[in-house]
Amino acid sequence: MPDDLYPAASTHFSQKRRELAPDVAASFAAFSKQVFADGALPARTKQLIAVAVAHVTQCPYCIRGHTRGALRAGASEAEVMEAIWVAAEMRAGGSYAHSIIALSEMDRVEGSEAGT
């Protein structure tokens, strides 16, 4: 990743974020901690979901952080890769599903041209 597009995460930036908006930063940290805690879904599953979502949103920081989080929570490398494949299918599936819009428009245009 080019450093100018995605600077390396650092304690400097984390500290600056906290200094500029301490209450919001603390609230976000508490929210994140609660979201990824064991609940109806175990933390491991939540981290695997996050790996998949991070790939769909294409956030390099999230990909790194949640891959580490998933491994620390006990996920295997194969499970992480499978989560990434689920993300890839869902991303591609969106294009497939939305093709109905183009197909519908083709039918509409074709129908209006037939009537002229």
83 occurs within a structural domain: yes
In Å, how far from its chain's centre is CA 24?
22
* Number of domains making up the chain: 1
Mean pLDDT of all residues belonging to the chain: 94
Q: Which helix (H) or strand (E) holds 23?
A: helix 22-35
The residues, any chain, with a CB within 8 Å of residue 90's CB and separated by 6 or more, are 52, 56
Please report, as a single letter, which amino acid is at residue 72.
R
| 9: in domain | no
Domain with residue 39: its CATH number is 1.20.1290.10
Question: Distance (Å, rounded) from C-alpha 101 to C-alpha 67?
Answer: 35
The mean per-residue pLDDT over the stretch 46-71 comes to 97
In a domain, 6, yes or no: no
Residue numbers of the domain that contains 51: 17-89
Instruction: Read off the pLDDT of residues 18-36 as tens digits, 9 standing for 90 and up.
Output: 999 999 999 999 999 999 9
Is residue 73 in some structural domain?
yes
Could you tell me if residue 30 is inside a domain?
Answer: yes
Q: Report the C-alpha gap between 35 and 53 in whole angstroms.
A: 14
> Distance between CA atoms of 81 and 38, rounded to whole angstroms?
22
- Encode pLDDT of 102-116 as tens digits: 999 999 998 888 776
Q: Is residue 61 part of a domain?
A: yes
Specify if 98 maps to a domain: no
Does residue 72 form part of some domain? yes
